[in-house]
Structure 1
Amino acid sequence: MGDQELAAATWRKSRSSAGNGNCVEVACLGDGGRAVRDSKSPDRPKLVFTAGEWAALVAGVKDGEFD
């Protein structure tokens, strides 16, 4: 994952964002993966997930694995 692809990515917040600045933003990547960043510090390092890793994370959240 190159810095240029992350710089050109379209970042979005959840519609259910609390609006208090404590949010993460997600960007879809060209290979089907996702990148996640802190909305307060967008220039800091990002977490980058492959498509498979992202699917596993979303499934885990839905199943309550992180509660």
Structure 2
Amino acid sequence: MPLKTNEWFTPRRSYNGTHCVETKFTSDAVYVRNNQRPEAGTAVFTHEEWAVFVASVKDGDYDV
């Protein structure tokens, strides 16, 4: 889990927080939303689902 929990944050590689996703980690889930339109909805993942996604990104499965 990241250093911040229970609060929204943007990744370090974001473009000054202008066009990025925000993430919030809690003890139960990982929440992801668009920082430009937070009212548009939030995706919710279990910690296990998030771990698989992050591993897949690191493995190059989602390289863009």
TM-score, length-scaled by structure 1: 0.78
Q: Deviations over 1:33-60 (max 9, x none)?
A: 2110000001121110001100000000
RMSD after superposition: 1.3
Judge which range, 54-63 or 14-23, deviates more: 14-23
Give unpaired runs (5+ residues) of structure 1.
1-8
Percent of aligned pairs with the same residue?
40
1:17 aligns to what?
A: 14
**Unpaired runs of 5+ in structure 2?**
1-5
d(CA) in 1 for partners of 2:56, 2:9: 21
4+ runs of 1 displaced by more than 4 Å? none
1:47 paired with 2:37, answer: no
